[in-house]
């Protein structure tokens, strides 16, 4: 779950020595590369041939790391050869899990040790706490590895920016884990439904939400707890903060970053634009053991070629999970409600909109379920439909299916790009724009003010 | 204006009966066959405008209709549930009825269509529809009752025309 490299003066000398070595190695490799490949085509600059089995290191074996590990096991042509986590309990879990699946892996507490000893690695998968993303990713890139790093890129703008810079300097691939960008359901929704078919017409608004039920903080088996000295060595104050780092400002960005980043990225990606302003509200109203706000609502303004569109986002962690999680785009001809969970996904067509029959024939969408009758809303006989209420719409179905684990397509895209087959779907420079939008939303909520974006915000 | 001959009147009546027989036969036969139909979900690549797999590699789920003995369903599940709660429809009666309904519709459809024991077949068909009507009365499906009543009237009318039966395999 967390990371691997000691911080502070104690290890500064070792770190500088390591960086010198790896920087030299990275420079050599970059010079030997046929060209810059970040975010672009994938020439196998890292010495990866199209049919090579890719050797991977998995850095961070917390909840997200384990999900990625399971997804990787379903992908042919790759193998995890090393794992790294500061917590022995997590390392043991990883080694045992992988052994059960036929892989003997070497385990490391410190990613610098791992990079120094593992000479056959092609790539690193980074799923540490956010504040370790930038140091670990930059070190891995400089050591000549391609990197798949979970979002958020960092808990600071400077950290995220440094990752883009290192990606460009080393010429290595850096994919950020906004996995919806490789999900065929989202790709078809964006490229076919919205762009090719223009089923929604002009999009004037969007909204997204992630409501998560109240939950207890994570605990740990008492006998597995790390010592204070060990935790401090890796930047953590205590075991509670280590296990619940997402809620503390020193380590992560809170719910807007943790849950919201995925969905706010969809605003940018579907609109193919960055917002001009964001205003927000929210607060730490419920949990006494957290630092970060537990609820937030923000409104972005996008100036699109066809006009202004506003996007509302809310993340609630103190409600019931009612309504689930989705991203919804509303146009003059219809509404698309997207979610990673198909049961929350649907399309609604306005009665006066152009026919969607041709898109049913193309299998972009499936025939609608019948629109609810007006009587259905009046089951009790007392409710009266407001004269201004638009009639209920038929709900169409998005028939595209994902037959894989939810992160698998994004990992496959990364591995394919390493082999020279296609481009990254979410290179770091592209992800940086989305993450800047999240950072500014947090700023807007914390300061309860309107924040304006400038072109410089998105430049690296 | 000349009066129609008896011969031409007979032929008109025969053609009228033949038309009615064909309709009732087809109605019963296809309804019976449909009870062996099901729908399954199949996955196939999403195709682009040129008919090639979409560049996203997307897979789409489409519904396909199929016919199979294993897909046999005498009546929809929701209706079956309602019947199971009716005291006048005990399982020892409904279970065998469900088991043979599809087959009986097919057999009667064929016999009426081909003209095999036409009168008996039409009468049996009428009784079958009366039986179905009983169930619908119990669960208060008035529209379905009216729908079946139209069939029964057509069968009754067909029986009155049966004496004009031609193009039949057996005589009634």
Residue in B49, B59, B63 nearest the CB of A400: B59
* Per-residue model confidence (pLDDT) at position A367: 87
Helix or strand holding residue B33 (H, E)? helix B6-34
Helix or strand holding residue A17 (H, E)? helix A9-32
Q: Is the pLDDT of residue A37 over 70?
A: no
**What DSSP letter does each residue of A152-195 carry, written as one string?**
SS-SSHHHHHHHHHHHHHHT--EEE--GGGG-HHHHHIIIIIII
> For the residues B76-95, what does the mean pLDDT come to?
93
B58/A191 touch (CB, cutoff 8 Å), yes or no: no
Q: Give the start-to-end residue ranges of the domains of chain B.
A: 6-36+72-164, 38-70
DSSP conformational letter for A52? P
* Per-residue model confidence (pLDDT) at position B128: 97
Helix or strand holding residue A131 (H, E)? helix A130-142
DSSP conformational letter for B36? T
* Cα distances (angstroms) measured from residue A445 to each of A4, A240, A247, A294: 32, 26, 16, 11
* Per-residue model confidence (pLDDT) at position A103: 94
If interface means Cβ-Cβ distance under 8 Å, which residues of chain B face chain A? 43, 46-47, 49, 54, 56-63
Q: Is the pLDDT of residue A26 over 50?
A: no
* Domain membership flag for residue A1: no
> What are the tens digits of pLDDT across the range A436-457?
999 999 999 999 999 999 999 9
Q: Is the domain of A96 the same as that of A233? A: no
> Poorest-confidence range of A93-97, A390-394, B42-46?
A390-394
Q: Is the domain of A399 the same as that of A415? A: no
* Per-residue model confidence (pLDDT) at position A411: 98
How many CA atoms lie less than 13 Å away from A355 in the CB half-sphere? 4
If we measure between CA atoms, which residue out of B32, B30, B18, B12 comes closest to residue B118?
B18
A403/B43 touch (CB, cutoff 8 Å), yes or no: yes
Per-residue tokens: A34: 């046929």
> What are the tens digits of pLDDT across the range A165-203?
999 999 999 999 999 999 999 999 999 999 999 999 999
Question: Are residues A95 and A61 in contact, defined by beta-carbon separation less than 8 angstroms?
Answer: no
CA distance B153 to chain A (A): 33
Q: Is the domain of A344 the same as that of A414? A: no
Q: Is A362 on the interface with B (CB under 8 A)?
A: yes
Question: Are residues B79 and B123 in contact, defined by beta-carbon separation less than 8 angstroms?
Answer: no
Q: Is the domain of A155 the same as that of A87? A: yes
SS3 assignment for A374-424: HHHHHCCCCCCCCCCCCCCCCEEECCEECCCCCCHHHHHHHHHHHCCCCCC
Average pLDDT over all residues of chain A: 88
Q: Is A192 on the interface with B (CB under 8 A)?
A: yes
Q: Is the domain of A310 the same as that of A417? A: no
Q: Give chain A positions within 8 Å (CB) of B59.
A: 184, 400-403
> What are the tens digits of pLDDT across the range A71-91?
999 999 999 999 999 999 999
The percent of residues above 70 in pLDDT, for chain A, comes to 85
* Per-residue model confidence (pLDDT) at position A392: 77
* Domain membership flag for residue A263: yes
User: Is the predicted ipTM greater than 0.90, yes or no?
Assistant: no
- Look at phi and psi of residue A319 and say left if phi exceeds 0, alpha if psi is from -120 to 50, else beta: beta
Dihedral angle, C-alpha A179, A181, A185, A191, nearest 10 ° = 180
* Domain membership flag for residue A3: no
Burial B154-171 (b: 16+ CB within 10 A, else e): bbeebbebbebbeebeee
Q: Give chain B positions within 8 Å (CB) of A404.
A: none
Instruction: Give the chain A residue whose CA is nearest to the CA of B61.
Output: A399
* Per-residue model confidence (pLDDT) at position B14: 94
Q: Is the domain of A356 the same as that of A294? A: yes
Beta strands in chain B (DSSP E): 37-45, 59-67
Q: Give chain B positions within 8 Å (CB) of A185.
A: 58
Q: Is the pLDDT of residue A422 over 70?
A: yes
Residue A207, domain extent: 182-403+436-458
Helix or strand holding residue A146 (H, E)? strand A146-149
Residue in A191, A364, A403 nearest the CB of B59: A403
Number of Cβ atoms within 10 Å of the Cβ of B10: 14
> What are the tens digits of pLDDT across the range A334-352?
999 999 999 999 999 998 9
* Domain membership flag for residue A238: yes
> For the residues A107-113, what does the mean pLDDT come to?
97
Question: Are residues A312 and A298 in contact, defined by beta-carbon separation less than 8 angstroms?
Answer: yes
Instruction: Give the chain B residue whose CA is nearest to the CA of A397.
Output: B61
A192/B57 touch (CB, cutoff 8 Å), yes or no: no
B56/A188 touch (CB, cutoff 8 Å), yes or no: yes
Q: Is the domain of A147 the same as that of A267? A: no
* Domain membership flag for residue A2: no
3-state secondary structure of A210: strand
Q: Give chain B positions within 8 Å (CB) of A366.
A: 61-63
* Per-residue model confidence (pLDDT) at position B55: 86
Q: Is the domain of A130 the same as that of A20? A: yes
Q: Give chain A positions within 8 Å (CB) of B56.
A: 184, 187-188, 191
* Per-residue model confidence (pLDDT) at position A49: 80
User: In whole angstroms, what is the distance from residue A287 CA to residue A291 CA?
Assistant: 9
Q: Is the domain of A127 the same as that of A186? A: no
Q: Is A401 on the interface with B (CB under 8 A)?
A: yes
Q: Is the domain of A104 the same as that of A63? A: yes
Question: Are residues A73 and A51 in contact, defined by beta-carbon separation less than 8 angstroms?
Answer: no
User: In whole angstroms, what is the distance from residue B68 CA to residue B74 CA?
Assistant: 13
A15 — pLDDT class (breaks 50, 70, 90)? very low
CA distance B79 to chain A (A): 20
> Poorest-confidence range of A315-329, B3-17, B127-141?
B3-17
DSSP conformational letter for A20? H
Cis amide linkage into residue A30, ω under 30° from 0: no
* Domain membership flag for residue A4: no
* Per-residue model confidence (pLDDT) at position B5: 60
Q: Is A342 on the interface with B (CB under 8 A)?
A: no
Looking at the 3D structure of chain A, how many domains does it have? 2
Q: Give chain B positions within 8 Å (CB) of A187.
A: 56, 58
Query: Looking at residue A173, which CATH number applies to its domain?
Result: 3.40.50.720
* Per-residue model confidence (pLDDT) at position B40: 94
Q: Is the pLDDT of residue B61 over 80?
A: yes
């Amino acid at each position: 779950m967390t990371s691997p490299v000691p911080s502070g003066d104690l290890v500064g000398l070792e770190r500088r020595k390591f960086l010198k070595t790896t920087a030299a190695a990275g420079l050599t490799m970059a010079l030997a590369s046929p060209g810059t490949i970040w975010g672009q085509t994938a020439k196998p600059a890292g010495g990866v041939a199209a049919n090579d089995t890719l050797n991977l290191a998995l850095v961070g074996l917390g909840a997200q790391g384990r999900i990625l590990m399971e997804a990787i096991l379903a992908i042919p042509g790759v193998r995890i050869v090393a794992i790294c986590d500061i917590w022995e309990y997590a390392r043991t879990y990883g080694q045992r899990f992988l052994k059960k699946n036929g892989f003997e892996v070497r385990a490391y507490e410190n990613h610098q040790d791992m990079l120094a000893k593992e000479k056959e690695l092609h790539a690193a998968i980074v799923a540490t706490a956010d504040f370790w993303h930038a140091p670990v990713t930059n070190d891995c890139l400089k050591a000549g590895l391609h990197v798949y790093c979970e979002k958020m890129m960092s808990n600071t703008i400077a950290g995220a920016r440094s990752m883009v810079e290192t990606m460009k300097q080393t010429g290595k691939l850096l994919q950020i884990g906004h996995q919806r960008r490789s999900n065929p359901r989202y790709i078809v929704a964006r490229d076919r439904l919205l762009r090719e078919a223009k089923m929604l017409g002009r999009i004037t608004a969007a909204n997204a939400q992630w409501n998560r039920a109240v939950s207890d903080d994570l605990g740990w088996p008492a006998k597995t707890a790390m010592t204070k000295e060990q935790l401090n060595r890796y930047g953590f104050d205590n075991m509670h903060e280590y296990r619940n780092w997402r809620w503390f400002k020193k380590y992560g960005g809170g719910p807007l970053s943790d849950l919201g980043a995925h969905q706010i990225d969809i605003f940018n990606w579907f609109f193919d634009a960055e917002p001009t302003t964001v205003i927000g509200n929210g607060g730490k109203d419920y949990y006494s053991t957290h630092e970060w706000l537990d609820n937030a609502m923000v409104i972005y303004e996008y100036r699109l070629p066809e006009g202004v569109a506003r996007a509302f986002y809310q993340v609630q962690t103190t409600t019931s999970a009612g309504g689930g999680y989705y991203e919804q785009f509303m146009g003059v001809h219809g509404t698309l409600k997207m979610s990673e969970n198909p049961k929350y996904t649907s399309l609604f067509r306005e009665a006066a909109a152009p026919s969607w029959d041709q898109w049913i024939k193309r299998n972009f969408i499936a025939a609608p379920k019948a629109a609810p009758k007006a009587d259905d809303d009046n089951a009790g006989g007392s409710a009266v439909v407001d004269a201004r209420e638009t009639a209920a719409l038929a709900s169409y179905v998005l028939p595209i299916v994902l037959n894989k684990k939810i992160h698998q397509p994004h990992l496959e895209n990364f591995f394919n790009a390493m082999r020279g087959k296609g481009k990254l779907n979410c290179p770091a420079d592209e992800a940086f724009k989305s993450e800047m939008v999240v950072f500014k939303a947090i700023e807007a909520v914390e300061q309860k003010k309107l924040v304006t974006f400038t072109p410089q915000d998105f430049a690296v | 204006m000349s009066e129609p001959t008896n011969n031409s009147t007979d032929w008109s009546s025969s053609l009228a009966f033949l038309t009615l027989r064909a309709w009732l036969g087809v109605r019963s036969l296809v309804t019976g066959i449909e009870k062996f139909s099901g729908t399954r979900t199949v996955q196939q690549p999403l195709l682009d405008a040129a008919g090639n797999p979409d560049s996203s590699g997307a897979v789409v789920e489409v519904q396909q209709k199929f016919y199979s003995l294993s897909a046999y369903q005498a009546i929809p599940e929701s209706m079956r549930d309602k019947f199971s709660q009716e005291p006048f429809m005990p399982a020892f009666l409904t279970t065998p009825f469900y088991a043979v309904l599809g087959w009986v519709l097919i057999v009667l459809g064929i016999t009426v269509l081909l003209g095999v024991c036409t009168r008996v077949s039409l009468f049996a068909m009428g009784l079958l529809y009366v039986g179905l009507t009983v169930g619908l009365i119990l669960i208060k499906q008035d529209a379905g009752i009216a729908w079946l009543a139209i069939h029964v009237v057509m069968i009754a009318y067909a029986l009155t025309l049966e004496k004009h039966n031609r193009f039949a395999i057996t005589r009634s």
